Amino acid sequence: MQNIALISSLVMMGLVAAVFLWVVAGASQRAGADGAGSPAAWRARLFWIAIAAGAVLSFATLWEWPIAGHAAAAPKPDVVIHATGHQFRWQLDQDTVRVGQLVQFELTASDVNHGFAIYKGKRHLVAQTQAMPGYVNKLQVRFTEPGDYEVLCLEYCGLAHHGMRAVIKVRPRS
Ligand SMILES: [Cu+2]
């Protein structure tokens, strides 16, 4: 998925750069009549092509909301944990769950945007979403291994952003 995103980003950037260079190259020529083949006519066509492509891509890729808790047919969670991001700490109403439970985090923030990110070990990002003031974001996670999962902030939110840390304790099945 990351590779597809990278390749499509590079292709899109290449297209934008090519159009930009084409426009720059054309700008030095004398403006001709506004016929169907004139630069102005081509710009107008490209503009509408870009708008149509953007609409099609958005519709195709954003149809399914990527955060499970918000889907219309989201499964019913076993546990709901309410979490609030503050400058500079996480407030959780519960921090212990069991392996296999479907945990739904309901996230908000009291001040500015924070990024709620759950890590297994130092490198493996299990799940993440935004914690935003005035809005409740739902994130469903099913932990498959017991252990202590660190919660860090992924959105730079101020001077002590790096200190925002909490721990989700995942215990073996009872
Ligand atoms: Cu932060």
pLDDT in tens, 14-59: 999 999 999 888 876 655 556 778 888 899 999 999 999 999 998 8
Centre of ligand 1 to C-alpha 104, Å, is 21
In the chain the beta strands, taken as DSSP E runs, fall at 79-86, 89-92, 96-98, 102-109, 114-120, 124-131, 137-142, 147-153, 165-171
Ligand 1 centre distance from Cα of residue 105 (Å): 18
Cα three-residue angle 85-86-88, rounded to 5 degrees: 115
pLDDT of residue 156: 94
Q: Is the pLDDT of residue 81 over 80?
A: yes
Question: Which residues does residue 97 pair with via DSSP β-bridges, in sequence order?
Answer: 170
Given pLDDT bands bounded at 50, 70 and 90, which one contains residue 109? very high
pLDDT per position as a tens digit, 138-162: 999 999 999 999 999 999 999 999 9
Q: Is the pLDDT of residue 92 over 70?
A: yes
DSSP 93: S
Q: Is the pLDDT of residue 69 over 60?
A: no
- Asked if residue 140 lies in contact with residue 113, where contact means CB atoms within 8 angstroms, the answer is no
Please tell me which residue, 41 or 62, carries the higher pLDDT value. Answer: 41
Between the CA of 7 and the centroid of ligand 1 the distance, in Å, is 29
| Chain segment 117-130, per-residue pLDDT in tens | 999 988 899 999 99
Radius of gyration of the chain (CA): 23
CA distance 116 to 164: 10
pLDDT value at residue 120: 94
Distance CA 52, CA 12 (A): 15
Task: Give the Å distance between the CA of 121 and the centre of ligand 1.
Answer: 19
Q: How far is the CA of 39 from the centre of ligand 1 (A)?
A: 47
Distance CA 45, CA 136 (A): 41
How far apart are alpha carbons 91 and 163 in whole angstroms? 13
Output the CA 32–ligand 1 centroid distance in Å: 54
Distance 109 CA to ligand 1 centre (A): 11
* 87 in Cβ contact with 109 (< 8 Å): no
Residue 63 confidence (pLDDT)? 73
What residues have CB less than 8 Å from 119, skipping those under 6 apart? 125, 126, 149, 150, 151, 152
Residue 61 has a pLDDT of: 82
Cα(158) to centroid(ligand 1), Å: 6
The whole model's pTM is what? 0.62
How many other C-beta atoms are found inside a 10 Å radius of the C-beta of residue 155? 18
173 CA to centre of ligand 1 in angstroms:
32
| Nearest residue to 81 via CA among 107, 100, 55 | 107
What separation in Å is there between the alpha carbon of 111 and the centre of ligand 1?
A: 11
